[in-house]
């Protein structure tokens, strides 16, 4: 077995929800330990934060999030084959994230030592990482105004990167921008879809592995993604964000100490039953399964682990508030460890909604510039003939706008783009249910579009397209 065949695995030794050993198969080969950055397109111009001052002043009053609502969700299902599989709502309700179970005794864990992808959605579905989110939204009957009333569709990572830019952070990033009908998509771009995070340390994966579990009806899930709709800066956003889990109702707020009475050994036994296929080959189709139950957004949480020696030295919650503001996740679990040992007294569950609101009020100047930046990007991409561009942040205070090269691909496959276009026309004309909702979607659905097949013509339309006007 090659070196990377041995090293490429998703934690843990138990084979839990973050992964299992990979052999020297095509799945192992799909893991990309290092990759050169993709080439950049021709430079168009740069955006500087101070150039946004006038627009920001006009948008300051509206630069607050309003009318937040979860509109869809999906679980990535782990399997041993190369098929990318998501589970979307049955009975039109969101899928469950894993259930939080606080340990009753001190928990000693080994440090993270596996391979973890920078972008889980891209690793699982590299051709169109945002497409599963679109498919999930189109399937929900209650989304009567989707996608006609969506100005921006993005993930927490891309919006977080743009927010850090206007706040003067030096972290570099690249992202793709594409306009489909009236909606502008922001797509995260790493050096490669299956790029991994190097030199992972700490307990940020082993701790949730031990303290959350997928319940019986969602067994085999690998990650839970939620789609939240809200208004901000005069625009209508749909944002995809991962949830680390959910808390039983009696465990929130002051009742946090009364956690589910599940023995840790039993929990480990449950976790050991799942297997993971962390990345699929680009030629694989997207498989959709149906089923689910409702978990209110008020019970969803984000989780971080930190060394006990930093407890009084850093404002750990404060560091996470911008991200929680973007994703609208209301609960934050902060678990401190002493050299890998987690004790119950050092694990805190906090309802952060008040903290997030205060952060928003305290950072109104930056948020106004963030709103102005999104408006500026929409204006630029709308004027482009191909309705595409790439954003590159390499220097503090400067965001480069570049042409998007053909190797970047399309945000949506031909089939899903056709469904999107059709749904826009349907909802705009108020002509009843969307095409996606009328399908029924009972059982499994295979979205095996022609562009994934070797030798397929990516530029011509199929006879069933229905939106380009050139089909037979």
Respond yes or no on whether the N-terminal peptide bond of residue 345 is cis (omega within 30° of 0). no
Place of tokens 């864990």: 109
Q: Is the pLDDT of residue 82 over 90?
A: no
pLDDT digits (tens, 9 = 90+) for 4-20: 233 333 333 333 333 33
Least confident of 33-47, 154-168, 245-259: 245-259
If pLDDT is split at 50, 70 and 90, which confidence band does 66 have?
very high
pLDDT digits (tens, 9 = 90+) for 177-235: 999 999 999 999 988 888 888 888 899 989 999 999 998 888 888 889 999 999 999 99
- pLDDT at residue number 35: 78
- Mean pLDDT computed over 119-124: 89
Angle at 170 between CA 167 and CA 174, to 5 degrees: 95
Q: How many CB atoms lie within 10 A of CB 139?
A: 22
Q: What is the 3-state secondary structure (H, E, C) of the chain?
A: CCHHHHHCCCCCCCCCCCCCCCCCCHHHHCCECCCCCCCCCCEEEEEEHHHHHHHHHHHHHHCCCEEEEEEEEEEEECCCCCCEEEEECCCCCCCCCCEECCCCCCEECCCCCCCCECCHHHHHCCCCCCHHHHHHHHCCCCCCCCCCCCCEEEEHHHHHHHHHHHCCCCCCEEEEEEEECCEEEEEECCCCCCEECCCCCCCCCHHHHHHEECCHHHCCEEEEEEEEEEEECCEEEEEEEEECEECCHHHCHHHCCCCCCCCHHHHHHHHCCCCCCCCCCCCCCEEEEECCCCCCHHHEEEEEEEEHHHCCCCCHHHHHHHHHHHHCCCEEEEEEEECCEEEEEEEEEEECHHHHHHHHHHCHHHHHHHHHHHHHHHHHHHHCCCCEEEEEEEECCEEEEECCCHHHCCCCCHHHHHHHHHHHHHHHCCCCCCHHHHCCCCCCEEECCHHHCCCCCCCCCCCCCCCCCCCC
Give the chain's end-to-end CA distance (angstroms, integer).
51
pTM: 0.78
- pLDDT at residue number 372: 98
Say if CB 185 and CB 41 are below 8 A apart: no
CA distances from 255 to 35, 336, 385, 429 (A): 47, 19, 56, 49
* Residues contacting 301, CB < 8 A, separation 6+: 100, 243, 244, 245, 246, 247, 329, 330, 331, 332, 333, 349
If pLDDT is split at 50, 70 and 90, which confidence band does 368 have?
very high
Averaged pLDDT score across all residues of the chain: 78
Question: For the CA atoms of the chain, what is the radius of gyration?
Answer: 22
CA distances from 382 to 161, 385, 391 (A): 21, 8, 14
- pLDDT at residue number 91: 45
Least confident of 85-89, 189-193, 316-320, 383-387: 85-89
């Amino acid at each position: 077995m090659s070196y990377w065949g041995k090293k490429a695995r998703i934690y843990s030794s138990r084979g839990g929800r973050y992964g299992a050993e990979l052999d020297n198969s095509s799945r192992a080969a799909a893991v990309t330990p290092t990759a050169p950055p993709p080439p950049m397109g021709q430079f168009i111009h740069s955006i500087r934060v101070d150039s946004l001052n006038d627009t920001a002043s006009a948008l300051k009053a509206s630069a607050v999030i309003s009318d937040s609502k979860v509109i869809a969700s999906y679980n990535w299902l782990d399997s041993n084959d190369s098929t990318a599989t998501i589970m979307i709502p049955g009975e039109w309700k969101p899928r469950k994230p894993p259930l939080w179970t606080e340990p009753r005794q001190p928990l000693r864990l080994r440090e993270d030592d596996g391979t973890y992808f920078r972008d889980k959605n891209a690793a699982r579905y590299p051709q169109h990482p945002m497409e599963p989110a679109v498919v999930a939204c189109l399937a929900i009957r209650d989304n009567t105004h989707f996608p006609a009333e969506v100005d921006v569709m993005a993930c927490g990572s891309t919006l977080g990167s743009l927010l850090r830019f206007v706040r003067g952070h030096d972290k570099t990033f690249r992202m793709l921008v594409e306009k489909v009908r009236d909606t502008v998509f922001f797509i995260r771009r790493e050096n490669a879809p299956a790029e991994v995070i190097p030199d992972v340390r700490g307990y940020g994966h082993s701790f949730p592995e031990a303290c959350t579990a997928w319940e019986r009806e969602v067994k085999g899930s690998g990650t839970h993604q939620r789609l939240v709709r809200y208004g901000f800066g005069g625009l209508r956003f749909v944002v995809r964000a991962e949830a680390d889990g959910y808390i039983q109702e009696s465990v929130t707020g002051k009742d946090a100490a009364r956690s589910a009475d599940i023995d840790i050994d039993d929990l480990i036994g449950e976790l050991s039953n799942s297997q993971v296929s962390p990345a699929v080959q680009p030629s694989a189709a997207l498989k959709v399964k149906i089923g689910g139950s409702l978990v209110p957004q008020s019970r969803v949480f984000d989780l971080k682990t930190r060394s006990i020696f930093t407890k009084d030295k850093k404002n750990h919650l404060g560091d996470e508030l911008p991200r929680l503001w973007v994703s609208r996740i209301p609960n934050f679990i902060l678990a401190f460890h002493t050299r890998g040992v987690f004790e119950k007294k050092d694990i805190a569950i906090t309802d952060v909604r008040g903290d997030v609101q205060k952060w928003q009020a305290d950072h109104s100047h930056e948020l106004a510039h963030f709103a102005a930046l999104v408006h500026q990007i929409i204006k630029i991409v709308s004027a482009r003939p191909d309705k595409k561009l790439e954003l590159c942040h390499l220097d503090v205070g400067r965001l480069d706008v570049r042409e998007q090269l053909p190797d970047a691909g399309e945000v949506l496959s031909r089939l899903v783009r056709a469904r999107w276009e059709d749904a826009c026309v349907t909802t705009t004309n108020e002509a009843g249910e969307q095409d996606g909702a009328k399908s029924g979607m009972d059982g499994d659905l295979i979205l095996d579009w022609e562009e994934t097949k070797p030798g397929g013509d990516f530029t011509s339309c199929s006879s069933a397209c229905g939106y380009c006007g050139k089909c037979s």
